[in-house]
């Protein structure tokens, strides 16, 4: 919808005395003024001139209204001319002058919406509704503010407004937006047709409706929409007719198409600050750092209130602290000749913080190259562009990199050939399994690109979860307790509507539930229909089929039948815990209560009962760690080790417990098993000096010299106290590999650290005595 902040360039023009006609930026963050039935007639006349693209006339129209005797009119005109700070003060004075006027508060709320502050806008709408519970403009404003939050509140409020005001254009447009987000195009069409009819009857601008109709056409792969032409005929500088469809490209992973649309938006309307901002953000997602900076700086010059712009510009400054490390991934496709010479390759760029690059790069490289090799064959797809993998040690930097806002709970995001995620140090040790996250995101690269960015959200997330469970670096199917509860409470969505669980969740943990449901669907397809069917579905999505059509074509059943099959699959895999969920959870609760008072016999009894119901659970509150503590307290060390091993085999990954398990296994003489457990810690918390030192020595002792070199080099990246000993161990490994040149180099580095290091001196004599 139009946004009166769009007139911010008027202020720039007046301040800079530009002679040429300028265009005013449009945004969709707030409701257009003409949807306000109580708007002053003088302002409406200016709005109509503006809507037709007559900017100079609009400036001349709004300017004298800044001195209007009505503080509200003066505030609106000042806002329209771009001085939002002064407009804010005028609204404040207007409310003080007329504290019982709800319309002024509602309009003030719209100012906050337009400056990207929905949390500040909502209270003003609520205050207006306390004065007049029936004020439509306040209700729709509150709905617009709530749309920025997860949860069902916005949809619920819009449904209520729609019943009371079935022909309200703004309500119809917000409802249509939500239907477009979940690709429910028929419902969106009906709402937009109704909105267009209502707008014509009320003589309202049709531009917002045209932009959403163009978006619907875009979702049908019609990039040459008649509604785009209609919009530009109505107002040649209407950038939103490209900016709004770009939003739907973005939520469907179509970043390149979004960039094309956003370029068109700023071409027809060079002062569309939100379009410049989003263009910059998305050029950065395509690794065009210089192009991103250019458009973000333009956006900031016109709208310094946009947090996405401000945050991303700050992020660009931090990228100087990162190093790009190049490697090459080798792979084959199923139809390729198996001869070694037929390997294909793709460049890989690892973008790591300079403080982490040395110790982290070996593991990022190992897992990335393994994933490319595996997924290329599993999905019969050859990467056509360099793959870029970014890991951020600061979580807020990663959040800004992905969604332009700090504080989000994401772990990783993929933008086609570029993926970004938290590094292991971006979260507290053991809070997440970074290896699984990287594996998950790398699977996205293949599903997104194989389908030409056309697969539904549920499918790409489902495949990535399925790959985590079946081929990733962490054992087991990991399903949180709240997801098990949601399954038990029958909260799963029909697969044809599953995208809505990601885009518009209706309860707090529904996004996580949707991830797990999608993973179970893909797991079921892979097990019962065969993995190749997942690849075939990607082909169908690339052929522009929707979920219903792809399921029918590839699996030969309806989506309703797939839903029924999923219920049977859940009964097969999780039926015991789902049917006894309340009992199982009560056992866990009672077990932990008993552990708090050292009632270890009770802990053992309750834990064993819980494990009879669901032995695979190793998440928060797992029985195994309580059992381990119970057996340790009773002096039954061997049983304690057995319990920890079972926990590890099911996929437990808390680093401190894995270190403890490895230590106990070594005490039992099971060195190889201890090394295996330590290796798994690298995918959870590799920034640990003791870990790499112990692994390096293990590998060196058993003759795995290349692995030893990797571990000792990683150890150097963590700046250990005794670097001389580390260099010496690297030298021994190179000597064992008969690489005397590198062995000598590392001995010399050891002696640089400790000139009187006798063992290093002896090795240097030995190496120098041989021919080099």
CA–CA distance, 680 with 337 (Å, rounded to integer): 34
Question: Would residue 672 count as lying in a domain?
Answer: yes
Q: Which of 540, 673, 650, 481 is nearest to 661 (CA)?
A: 673
Count of domains observed in the chain: 4
Kindly indicate the confidence band of residue 673, based on its pLDDT and cuts at 50, 70 and 90.
Answer: very high
* CATH number (domain holding residue 317): 3.40.30.160
Q: Other CB atoms closer than 10 Å to residue 468's CB: what's the count? A: 22
Same domain membership, residue 524 and residue 479? yes
Strands of the sheet with 418-422, listed across from one edge: 322-331, 344-353, 387-392, 418-422, 412-414
Same domain membership, residue 636 and residue 605? yes
Same domain membership, residue 496 and residue 428? no
pLDDT greater than 70 at residue 16: no
Question: 689 burial class (0-12, 13-18, 19+ CB within 10 angstroms)?
Answer: middle
Q: How far from each other are the two terminal CA atoms of the chain, in whole angstroms?
A: 75
CA–CA distance, 302 with 266 (Å, rounded to integer): 13
Query: pLDDT value at position 663?
Result: 96
Judge whether 27 and 19 are in contact, CB under 8 Å: no
Question: Would residue 297 count as lying in a domain?
Answer: no
Judge whether 410 and 502 are in contact, CB under 8 Å: no
Query: pLDDT value at position 4?
Result: 31
Residue that finishes a domain, picked among 394, 415, 448:
448
Judge whether 647 and 622 are in contact, CB under 8 Å: yes
Same domain membership, residue 343 and residue 395? yes
Same domain membership, residue 416 and residue 462? no
Same domain membership, residue 473 and residue 538? yes
Q: Which of 52, 46, 81 is nearest to 205 (CA)?
A: 52
Same domain membership, residue 444 and residue 472? no
Range of the domain at 512: 451-559
Q: Which of 488, 489, 492 is nearest to 517 (CA)?
A: 492
Q: What is the pLDDT of residues 615-634, one digit of tens each?
A: 999 998 999 999 999 999 99
Q: pTM of the full predicted structure?
A: 0.89
H-helix or E-strand containing 414? Answer: strand 412-414
Q: What is the pLDDT of residues 526-560, one digit of tens each?
A: 999 999 999 999 999 999 999 999 999 999 999 99
CA–CA distance, 608 with 626 (Å, rounded to integer): 11
Query: pLDDT value at position 55?
Result: 83
Comparing 385 with 17, which gets the higher pLDDT?
385
CA–CA distance, 469 with 524 (Å, rounded to integer): 12
Helix/strand/coil (H/E/C) assignment for every residue in 420-439: EEECHHHCCCCCCCHHHHHH
Judge whether 24 and 11 are in contact, CB under 8 Å: no
Judge whether 101 and 88 are in contact, CB under 8 Å: no
Same domain membership, residue 427 and residue 325? yes
Q: Which of 285, 471, 251 is nearest to 376 (CA)?
A: 471
Mean pLDDT of 688-698: 95
Query: pLDDT value at position 19?
Result: 22
Same domain membership, residue 614 and residue 481? no
CA–CA distance, 162 with 167 (Å, rounded to integer): 8
Find where tokens 């085999």 sit.
Answer: 649
Q: Which of 163, 288, 34 is nearest to 279 (CA)?
A: 288
CA–CA distance, 729 with 691 (Å, rounded to integer): 15
Q: What is the pLDDT of residues 405-422, one digit of tens each?
A: 665 668 899 999 999 999
| pLDDT over 70 percentage in the chain | 94
Kindly indicate the confidence band of residue 770, based on its pLDDT and cuts at 50, 70 and 90.
Answer: low
CA–CA distance, 522 with 179 (Å, rounded to integer): 25
pLDDT greater than 90 at residue 9: no
Find where tokens 């010399």 sit.
Answer: 748
Query: pLDDT value at position 14?
Result: 25
Query: pLDDT value at position 53?
Result: 82
Min mean pLDDT across 144-158, 434-448, 703-717 is at 144-158
Same domain membership, residue 317 and residue 443? yes
Find where tokens 């199923």 sit.
Answer: 334
Judge whether 154 and 118 are in contact, CB under 8 Å: no
Judge whether 429 and 654 are in contact, CB under 8 Å: no
- Residue 180 corresponds to which tokens in the numbers above? 């477009």
Question: Would residue 593 count as lying in a domain?
Answer: yes
Between helices 689-701 and 671-681, what is the axis angle to 10°? 140
pLDDT greater than 60 at residue 28: no
Residue 376: alpha-carbon gap to chain centroid: 23
Same domain membership, residue 590 and residue 518? no
Same domain membership, residue 495 and residue 371? no
Q: Report the DSSP beta bridge partners of residue 413.
A: 420
Min mean pLDDT across 9-23, 141-155, 381-395, 704-718 is at 9-23
**What residues contact residue 526 under an 8 Å CB cut-off, 6+ apart?**
466, 470, 533, 534
Judge whether 8 and 84 are in contact, CB under 8 Å: yes
Residue that finishes a domain, picked among 384, 413, 448:
448
CA–CA distance, 73 with 75 (Å, rounded to integer): 5
């Amino acid at each position: 919808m139009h946004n009166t902040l769009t007139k911010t360039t008027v202020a720039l023009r007046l301040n800079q005395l530009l002679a040429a006609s300028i265009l005013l930026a449009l945004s969709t963050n707030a409701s257009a003024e003409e949807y306000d039935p109580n708007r002053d007639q003088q302002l409406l006349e200016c709005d109509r001139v503006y809507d037709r693209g007559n900017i100079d006339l609009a400036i001349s129209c709004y300017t004298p209204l800044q001195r209007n005797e009505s503080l509200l009119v003066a505030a609106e005109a000042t806002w329209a001319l771009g001085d939002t700070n002064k407009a804010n003060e005028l609204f404040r004075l207007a409310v003080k002058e007329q504290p019982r006027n709800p319309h002024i508060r509602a309009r003030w709320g719209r100012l906050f919406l337009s400056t990207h502050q929905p949390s500040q806008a909502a209270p003003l709408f609520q205050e207006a509704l306390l004065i007049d519970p029936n004020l439509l403009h306040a209700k729709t404003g509150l709905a617009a503010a709530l749309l920025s939050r997860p949860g069902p509140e916005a949809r619920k409020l819009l449904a209520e407004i729609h019943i009371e005001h079935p022909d309200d254009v703004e309500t119809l447009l917000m409802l249509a937006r939500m239907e477009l987000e979940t690709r429910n195009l028929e419902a969106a069409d009906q709402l937009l047709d109704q909105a267009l009819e209502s707008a014509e009857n009320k003589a309202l601008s049709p531009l917002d409706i045209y932009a959403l109709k163009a978006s619907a056409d875009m979702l049908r792969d019609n990039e040459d929409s008649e509604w785009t032409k209609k919009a530009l005929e109505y107002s040649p500088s209407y950038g939103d007719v490209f900016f709004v469809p770009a939003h739907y490209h973005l939520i469907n992973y179509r970043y390149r198409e979004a960039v094309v649309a956003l370029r068109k938006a700023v071409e027809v309307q060079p002062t569309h600050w939100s379009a410049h901002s989003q263009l910059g953000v998305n050029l950065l997602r395509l690794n065009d750092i210089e192009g991103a900076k250019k458009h973000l700086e333009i956006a900031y010059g016109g709208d310094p209130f946009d947090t996405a712009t401000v945050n991303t510009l700050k992020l660009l400054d931090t990228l100087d602290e990162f190093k790009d490390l190049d490697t090459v991934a080798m792979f084959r496709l199923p139809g390729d000749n198996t001869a070694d010479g037929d390997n294909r390759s793709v460049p890989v760029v690892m973008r790591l913080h300079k403080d982490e690059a040395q110790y982290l790069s070996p593991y990022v490289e190992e897992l990335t190259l393994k994933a490319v090799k595996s997924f290329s064959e599993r999905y019969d797809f050859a990467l056509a562009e360099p793959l870029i993998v970014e890991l951020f040690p600061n979580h807020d930097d990663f959040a800004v990199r992905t969604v332009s806002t700090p504080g989000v709970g994401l772990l990783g995001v993929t933008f086609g050939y570029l993926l970004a995620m938290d590094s292991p140090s971006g979260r507290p040790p053991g809070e997440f399994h970074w290896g699984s996250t990287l594996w998950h995101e790398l699977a996205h690269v293949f599903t997104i690109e194989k389908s030409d960015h056309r697969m539904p959200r549920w499918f790409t997330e489902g495949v990535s979860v399925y790959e985590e469970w079946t081929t990733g670096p962490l054992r087991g199917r990991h399903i949180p307790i709240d997801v098990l509860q949601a399954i038990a409470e029958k909260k799963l969505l029909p697969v044809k509507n599953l995208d809505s669980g990601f885009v518009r969740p209706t309860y707090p943990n529904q996004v996580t539930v949707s991830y797990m449901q999608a993973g179970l669907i893909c797991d079921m397809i892979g097990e019962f229909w065969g993995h190749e069917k997942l690849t075939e579905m990607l082909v169908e999505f690339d052929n522009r089929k929707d979920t219903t059509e792809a399921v029918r074509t590839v699996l030969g059943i309806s989506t309703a039948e797939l839903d029924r099959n999923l219920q049977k699959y859940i009964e097969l895999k999780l039926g015991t815990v789902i049917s006894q969920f309340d009992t199982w959870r009560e056992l866990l609760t009672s077990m932990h209560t008993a552990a708090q008072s050292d009632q270890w016999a009770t802990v053992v009894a309750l834990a064993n009962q819980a494990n009879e119901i669901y032995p695979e659970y190793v998440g928060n509150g797992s029985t195994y760690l309580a059992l381990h503590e119970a057996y340790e307290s009773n002096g039954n060390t061997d049983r304690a080790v057995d319990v920890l091993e079972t926990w590890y085999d099911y996929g437990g990954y808390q680093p401190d417990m894995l270190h403890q398990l490895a230590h106990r296994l070594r005490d039992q003489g099971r060195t190889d098993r201890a090394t295996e457990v330590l290796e798994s810690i690298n995918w959870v918390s590799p920034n640990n000096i003791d870990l790499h030192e112990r692994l390096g020595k293990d590998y060196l002792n058993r003759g795995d010299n290349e692995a030893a070199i990797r571990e000792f080099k990683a150890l150097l990246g963590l700046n250990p106290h005794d670097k001389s000993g580390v260099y010496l161990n690297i030298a021994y490994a190179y000597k064992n590999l008969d690489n005397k040149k590198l062995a000598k180099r590392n001995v010399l580095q050891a002696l640089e650290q400790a000139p009187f290091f006798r063992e290093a001196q002896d090795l240097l004599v030995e190496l120098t005595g041989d021919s080099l």
